[in-house]
C-alpha cells in the first residue's frame, strides 16, 4: 500500500487523482525551483519598506527609526509530512506538496535613541543617532498542487484539515488550469492564495521532456 493511501486524509475520503499524474510531479519541482519559490514568497505580503518604528529596549532606551523587511532566501521541500500523535499513536495526516521556509531580514536605519525613565534615572530629552542593525526572522508557507480539476470546496476542506494539525498559516493553491471569479473568491474567503501555472510552467514542462538525465549509471 502506498504511503498516501494510509494517511488520515485518505481515510476521511479525500480522493487524490493527481497522485500518479506526471504533470503534478513536474509542477511540484517547478514550484520548488529558486526563482519560482522566490516569486511566490514575494506574493505573500511579507515585505515592506520605509516603515516608521518606535520601541523601547531592555537596556532602557527609547528608539525611533525606519525599517525595511525583505525576503532573503526561500528553502523548499516536496512531500512534506504532516502528522499527529507520538509513538505508537503517531498517524500521518497527509503530505504537503511543496513546503516553503522563507528567510527574512529586516534592516533598521535612520535610528535615533534616548534614554527613557529607567531605574530612577531621569529620561533624556535629546535624541542621538545610533548604528543601523539587522534582525532575522522566518515564515513558513505551503502549496497544494492540483493538475486535475477538483471542486474548490474539497481543496478548502483538505487545507483546513492540514491547518488543524500543523502550524502552517499561509496556504497557496497552485493549479494547472484557470479558476473562475467565484472559485477565486471562495479561496480568498478561506485565506488561500491562488496561483495559476501558465506559460512559464508549460515552457518548463517542455524543458523537462527535452532534458534526459545524464547522471544515471548505466548497468
pLDDT in tens, 107-151: 999 999 887 765 556 666 788 899 999 999 999 999 999 999 999
Q: What is the rounded CA–CA span in Å between residue 46 and residue 52? A: 16
Residue 1 has a pLDDT of 41
The residues, any chain, with a CB within 8 Å of residue 205's CB and separated by 6 or more, are 23, 26, 30
Residue 15 has pLDDT above 70, yes or no: no
Tens of pLDDT, residues 44-73: 999 999 899 888 877 778 889 999 999 999
Three cell numbers written together for 147: 493538475
CA-CA-CA-CA torsion sign (211, 102, 173, 3): positive
Where does 3-46+72-103+138-209 sit in CATH, by number?
3.40.1350.10
Closest Cα partner for 52 from 32, 74, 68? 68
Three cell numbers written together for 191: 485565506
Helix 22-31 vs helix 34-41: crossing angle, to nearest 10: 70
Amino acid at each position: 500500500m502506498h504511503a498516501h493511501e494510509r494517511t488520515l486524509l485518505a481515510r476521511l475520503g479525500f480522493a487524490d487523482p493527481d497522485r500518479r499524474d506526471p504533470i503534478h510531479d513536474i509542477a511540484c519541482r517547478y514550484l520548488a525551483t529558486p526563482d519560482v519559490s522566490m516569486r511566490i514568497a514575494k506574493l505573500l505580503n511579507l515585505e515592506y519598506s520605509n516603515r516608521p518604528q518606535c520601541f523601547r529596549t531592555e537596556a532602557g532606551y527609547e528608539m525611533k527609526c525606519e525599517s525595511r523587511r525583505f525576503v532573503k532566501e526561500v528553502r523548499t521541500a516536496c512531500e512534506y509530512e504532516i502528522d499527529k500523535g507520538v509513538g505508537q499513536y503517531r498517524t500521518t495526516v497527509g503530505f504537503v506538496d511543496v513546503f516553503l521556509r522563507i528567510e527574512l531580514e529586516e534592516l533598521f536605519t535612520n535610528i535615533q535613541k534616548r534614554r527613557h525613565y529607567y531605574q530612577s534615572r531621569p529620561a533624556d530629552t535629546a535624541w542621538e543617532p545610533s548604528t543601523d542593525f539587522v534582525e532575522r526572522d522566518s515564515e513558513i508557507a505551503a502549496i497544494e498542487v492540483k493538475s486535475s480539476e477538483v471542486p474548490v470546496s474539497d481543496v478548502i476542506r483538505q487545507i483546513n484539515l492540514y491547518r488543524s494539525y500543523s502550524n502552517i498559516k499561509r496556504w497557496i493553491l497552485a493549479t494547472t488550469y484557470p479558476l473562475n471569479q467565484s472559485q477565486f473568491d471562495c479561496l480568498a474567503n478561506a485565506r488561500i492564495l491562488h496561483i495559476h501555472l501558465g506559460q512559464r510552467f508549460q515552457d518548463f514542462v517542455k524543458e523537462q521532456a527535452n532534458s534526459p538525465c545524464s547522471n544515471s549509471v548505466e548497468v
